[in-house]
Amino acid sequence: MNLTLKIWRQKDAKSKGKFVTYTLENISPNCSFLEMLDILNESLIQKNEEPVVFDHDCREGICGMCSLYINGRPHGPDDAVTACQLHMRKFKDGDTITVEPWRAKPFPVIKDLMVDRTAFDKIIQAGGYISVNTGGAMEANHILIPKPAAELSMDAAACIGCGACVAACKNASAMLFVSAKISQFALLPQGRPEASERVMKMVKMMDDLGFGNCTNTYACEAECPKSISRSNIARMNLEFICAKASWE
Amino acid sequence: MTELNSKIPKGPVAQKWSNYKAHQNLVNPSNKRKLDIIVVGTGLAGASAAASFGELGFNVKIFCYQDSPRRAHSIAAQGGINAAKNYPNDGDSVYRLYYDTLKGGDYRAREANVYRLAEVSNAIIDQCVAQGVPFAREYGGSLENRSFGGAQVSRTFFARGQTGQQLLLGAYSALSRQIKLGMVTMYNRHEMMDLVMVDGKARGIIARDLITGKLERYFGHAVILATGGYGNVFYLSTNAMGSNTSALWQAMKQGAYFANPCFTQIHPTCIPVHGDYQSKLTLMSESLRNDGRIWVPRKKEDAEKNRQGLLKGNDIPEEDRDYYLERRYPAFGNLVPRDVASRAAKERCDAGFGVGPTGLAVYLDFKESIKRLGKHVIEERYGNLFQMYEKIVDENPYENPMMIYPAVHYAMGGLWVDYELQSTITGLFVAGEANFSDHGANRLGASALMQGLADGYFVLPYTVQNYLSAEIKTPRMSTDKKEFEEAEKRVQDRMAKLMSIQGSKSVDHFHKELGKIMWEHVGMGRTKEGLTQGIALIRELRKKFWSDVRIPGKPDELNVELEKANRVADFLEMGELLALDALNRNESCGGHFREEYQTPEGECLRDDENYKYVAAWEYVAEGEFRLHKEQLVYEETEVKARNYK
């Protein structure tokens, strides 16, 4: 395949960025999208130019590090995959592909396609856990959990924290990410004792960090590589209202 | 010369850990506040250790090269975690888990460490459930188990095909809680560059802020390395792109010994290699072997037609299929341990029965299970894996059998540690995949997660405390000390040297070349000639690297190529040691197969008389290593030939 790439290049957080056009020839359709970028970088190094910086690590769709906005969609044109699992067979010979970083105020660009997502860590630190110390646990099977609840909890827990939901949202809302963690614990008996405190703290942190509100377009769900359901947002709202009522 | 003292406590194997805990020294709460611990790596071992130390009241600093601690590669583990709960009432016990693990490791692990691992396994499950890890459940609400390779019981706990993710997020949440409480300070996008020694003890690290490129100095009363394995020395592996051995290698240059580097695990069920541009290999969980049957065509002409694309797997009739694992190993069948399954696949492909365009693949077939259980059951059990396969290979595994081939997956070897997980450097502890201690020559499936969390939650909090009890009078040191300055200078000089080369080839070029040499000469079937040749080739490549690598940019800025160059420089030395260790070990055991040493049936031929030892290598100079031996003593268990027939 022969391709034209329009890639966002930005020197650092303070500089102004711009699109730079590159062309690539003879790309195999079995190549992954990131391997295609590797080939581009190899050619840039040969020409003594600076390679394109992008985040990636596991390259099997689970670490959540890759974060490319490809042709106007987080993680690109395929459904329910991360950019590292996207393969070039999803494109056509002669295509022009636009690659940008996540665009959201709480995710500032570090360089080129790399953004800072420590805001997500801060939200988890605000309350995304069950407060149990090592060694302080009871026998595992003393907590019986109905299979459907465990399955729903697992559905929510599958979130990889990549931030595609925020990048997809016109409000840069983090509701899908936050609600996935709230739901995982709210659905389990172990998570109930701290449920109201957790939702209050995490939502407050989310707001303080500048993430927008939810206006129910569900772009987050459509673009989530792990197909996290928007029903988690409803569950979080319910938890929030109940918590607020009981606090007041 | 450092003496290899494994410090195994006295008494019967089942009481050693209790005896240790009963007699170890503790640190009182007011002194804990005065002690600093550095943890490098935020995978299962690192995150769980840091969280536990924070809870105890120590000051912890933790480092990872990724943008968040939640990205560590433990997250990619799929199948499950073992524990001796015996919920299915199928005959499991702590002893049996210990025995299976020791036998699975081909009697090259330390008895006392393995027993302790089995002993704390149940507490790990309790801990994870309390943290809210959504393990699979039975309809009655209790925990569900499945079976894994090398065991005849079902002792594996799992969260779909994402067990590593869920356990890591559990440890990450515990870590996040301690960060919030101010007990742990997190340094993400920081890479450890060197170890700082003061008066013969590990006292800190030099780290590079990967965003600014600046070198920073950090002090700790103790340093814990939980930096994972060295599988990427083969370039193509199931490891993450950033996984590296540099922290271990720098520690080795300061006096830590590297143990059993030739014990590397080639995982039997990975998606086969398909092109030169390929950057990594993807694992298909071992759990698939619960319901999938492995086969190749019985007739060579069928295999040939298949490779030419003229005959599909589905069109080969039942009687013309060779279920070679079931044929060779009737007792364990498709659930033989990984080393055995990998070698058997290679044997069939080498003999001309391989399938797919390259001929380097075998089939993993679910047709029978789908017929027996229904597609929905298979989907519920392995849905995400099937989806992953389809995205990569562009073929539907519900309809066509999967194609798989072995790939580098895990490193059993690592830094040498004693029973307390302390290396030959006083005050330097090593946990998880980074140490050598528990898996011998081959790791069983679902045991890596067990070991990572055992070390972090239940071993280090005791043993490091025992060490720190003698450090309560050591005040925090200024990082202006000359030892820190010297270490920083070492790092600076090396980076300056790398940057000054300005040759003609990229870092990746050299990494790929190294990978080819390793796979070809130090891979699944090793010979004296091949290894000797491999060592010569690695040395030659290392020379070329140091004269012809091209790194754009500057050292004091974000520079991904420089990061990679630092890691590959160390792999180019480590690869040689791996080959040297393989050459030294004139026997076949576990993942280490020397073609000269095999039974007439092609099984491993161990030499217990001469090689029942841990090979611990001391760094003398570049390309020069001194061998130390820790003889393995088996008091509890009789050492036998491994038999899965």
Q: Tokens 């149990």, residue? A: A132
Q: Is the pLDDT of residue B617 over 80?
A: yes
Nearest in space to B293 (alpha carbons), one of B377, B380, B362, B360: B362
Q: What is the mean pLDDT of chain B?
A: 96
Please give the residue of chain B at the shortest CA–CA distance from A27: B277
Q: What is the 3-state secondary structure (H, E, C) of B485-511?
A: HHHHHHHHHHHHHHHHHCCCECHHHHH
| pLDDT of the residue at B367 | 95
What DSSP string describes B579-606?
HHHHHH--S-BTTB-BTTSB-TTS-B--
Q: Is the pLDDT of residue B627 over 80?
A: yes
| pLDDT of the residue at A192 | 97
What's the rounded Cα separation, in Å, for the pair B313 and B303?
9
Nearest in space to B80 (alpha carbons), one of B140, B138, B139, B121: B121
Q: How many CB pairs under 8 A join A and B?
A: 211
B338 an active-site residue? yes
Q: For B482-612, CATH number?
A: 1.20.58.100
Percentage of chain A beyond pLDDT 70 is 100
* Interchain contact B14–A (C-beta under 8 A): no
- Per-residue pLDDT of B151-183, as tens digits, reads 899 999 999 889 999 999 999 999 999 999 999
B566: Cβ–Cβ under 8 A, 6 or more apart, which residues? B191, B193, B246, B494, B495, B498
| pLDDT of the residue at A193 | 97
- Per-residue pLDDT of A178-190, as tens digits, reads 999 999 999 999 9
What's the rounded Cα separation, in Å, for the pair B39 and B50?
7
**Band (B2; pLDDT cuts 50, 70, 90):** low
Q: Identify which of A129, A139, A191 has the shortest CB distance to residue B177.
A: A129
Task: For an interface test with B, give the residue of A25, A43, A49, A60 to mutate (most B CBs within 10 A).
Answer: A60
The arithmetic mean of pLDDT across residues B315-343, rounded, is 95
Please give the residue of chain A at the shortest CA–CA distance from B460: A134
Please give the residue of chain B at the shortest CA–CA distance from A54: B560
**Band (B3; pLDDT cuts 50, 70, 90):** low
**Band (B604; pLDDT cuts 50, 70, 90):** very high
- Per-residue pLDDT of B381-392, as tens digits, reads 888 889 889 999
Task: For an interface test with A, give the residue of B71, B81, B157, B505 to mutate (most A CBs within 10 A).
Answer: B71
The arithmetic mean of pLDDT across residues B483-501, rounded, is 98
Q: What is the DSSP letter of B455?
A: I
Chain A hits for B130, CB-CB cut-off 8 Å, are: 130, 132, 136-138, 140, 143, 190
Q: Identify which of A150, A157, A190 has the shortest CB distance to residue B169.
A: A157
| pLDDT of the residue at B275 | 83
- CA distances for A119 relative to A10, A196, B48, B338, angstroms: 21, 21, 22, 40
CA atoms B475, B477, B481, B486: torsion sign: positive
Q: Cβ separation of A63 and B506 shorter than 8 Å?
A: no
- CA distances for B11 relative to B8, B17, B19, B100, B455, angstroms: 9, 10, 8, 22, 22
H or E element: which one contains B571? helix B560-584
| pLDDT of the residue at B276 | 87
Please give the residue of chain A at the shortest CA–CA distance from B182: A125
Helices B482-501 and B528-548 cross at an angle (nearest 10°) of 90
Chain B hits for A202, CB-CB cut-off 8 Å, are: none
Instruction: Classify residue B25 by burial, with Cβ atoms within 10 Å: 0-12, 13-18, 19+.
Output: exposed
* Interchain contact B461–A (C-beta under 8 A): yes
| pLDDT of the residue at B79 | 87
Q: Is the pLDDT of residue A161 over 60?
A: yes
Residues 282-301 of B with CB under 8 A from A: 282-283
Q: Cβ separation of A60 and B140 shorter than 8 Å?
A: no
- Per-residue pLDDT of B274-292, as tens digits, reads 888 999 999 998 889 999 9
Chain A nearest-CA distance from B481, in A, is: 32
Chain A hits for B242, CB-CB cut-off 8 Å, are: 57
Please tell me the class of the B268-408 domain: alpha beta
ipTM field: 0.98
- Per-residue pLDDT of B441-460, as tens digits, reads 999 999 999 999 999 999 99
Chain B hits for A63, CB-CB cut-off 8 Å, are: 66, 71-73, 75-76, 240
Q: What is the mean pLDDT of chain A?
A: 97
B313: Cβ–Cβ under 8 A, 6 or more apart, which residues? B306, B355, B363, B365, B400, B401
What's the rounded Cα separation, in Å, for the pair B428 and B221?
10
Chain B hits for A116, CB-CB cut-off 8 Å, are: 67
Q: Identify which of B132, B173, B461 has the shortest CB distance to residue A188.
A: B132
**B553 near B495, Cβ under 8 Å?**
no
B182: Cβ–Cβ under 8 A, 6 or more apart, which residues? none
| pLDDT of the residue at A248 | 74
**B195 near B249, Cβ under 8 Å?**
no
Chain B hits for A160, CB-CB cut-off 8 Å, are: 165
Q: Is the pLDDT of residue A247 over 80?
A: no
Task: For an interface test with B, give the residue of A58, A116, A160 to mutate (most B CBs within 10 A).
Answer: A58
Q: Is the pLDDT of residue A176 over 80?
A: yes
| pLDDT of the residue at B286 | 87
Task: For an interface test with A, give the residue of B138, B187, B241, B267 to mutate (most A CBs within 10 A).
Answer: B241
Chain B nearest-CA distance from A219, in A, is: 22
Task: For an interface test with A, give the residue of B78, B135, B176 to mutate (most A CBs within 10 A).
Answer: B176
Q: Cβ separation of B68 and A117 shorter than 8 Å?
A: yes
Please give the residue of chain A at the shortest CA–CA distance from B284: A60
User: What region, left, alpha or beta, does residue B263 occupy, with left being phi > 0 and alpha being psi -120 to 50 degrees?
Assistant: beta
Beta bridge partners of B627: B617
How many CA atoms lie within 13 Å of B55's alpha carbon, on the beta-carbon side? 23
Q: Cβ separation of B132 and A28 shorter than 8 Å?
A: no
The arithmetic mean of pLDDT across residues B528-551, rounded, is 98
Fold of A117-247: Fumarate Reductase Iron-sulfur Protein; Chain B, domain 2 (1.10.1060)
- CA distances for B18 relative to B23, B110, B419, angstroms: 9, 17, 13
The arithmetic mean of pLDDT across residues B345-350, rounded, is 94
What's the rounded Cα separation, in Å, for the pair B7 and B3?
11
The arithmetic mean of pLDDT across residues A51-70, rounded, is 97
**B493 near B560, Cβ under 8 Å?**
no
Chain B nearest-CA distance from A134, in A, is: 6
Please give the residue of chain A at the shortest CA–CA distance from B241: A57
Helices B460-468 and B44-56 cross at an angle (nearest 10°) of 50
* Interchain contact B180–A (C-beta under 8 A): yes
Q: Cβ separation of B165 and A110 shorter than 8 Å?
A: no
What's the rounded Cα separation, in Å, for the pair B589 and B642?
9
Question: According to CATH, where is 1.10.1060.10 located in chain A?
Answer: 117-247
The arithmetic mean of pLDDT across residues A36-49, rounded, is 96
* Interchain contact B179–A (C-beta under 8 A): yes
How many CA atoms lie within 13 Å of A1's alpha carbon, on the beta-carbon side? 23
| pLDDT of the residue at B448 | 97
Helices B163-180 and A118-127 cross at an angle (nearest 10°) of 80
> Which tokens is B209 given?
């802020």
Q: Cβ separation of A65 and B71 shorter than 8 Å?
A: yes
**B431 near B452, Cβ under 8 Å?**
yes
B371: Cβ–Cβ under 8 A, 6 or more apart, which residues? none
Pairing type for strands B321-322 and B201-209 reads unpaired
Q: Cβ separation of A188 and B274 shorter than 8 Å?
A: no
Is the entire prediction scored with pTM above 0.95?
yes
Q: Identify which of A63, A117, A130 has the shortest CB distance to residue B75.
A: A63
Q: Is the pLDDT of residue A128 over 90?
A: yes
What's the rounded Cα separation, in Å, for the pair B399 and B414?
41
What's the rounded Cα separation, in Å, for the pair B337 and A95?
46
Q: For A3-111, CATH number?
A: 3.10.20.30
Percentage of chain B beyond pLDDT 70 is 100
Q: Cβ separation of B130 and A49 shorter than 8 Å?
A: no
For chain B, the domains span 268-408, 482-612
> Which tokens is B118 given?
């089995």
Catalytic residue among B146, B160, B338, B642: B338
Please give the residue of chain A at the shortest CA–CA distance from B75: A63
Spatial strand order of the sheet with B59-63 comes to B184-187, B59-63, B36-40, B222-225, B428-430
- Per-residue pLDDT of B227-240, as tens digits, reads 999 999 999 999 99
Q: Cβ separation of A89 and B130 shorter than 8 Å?
A: no
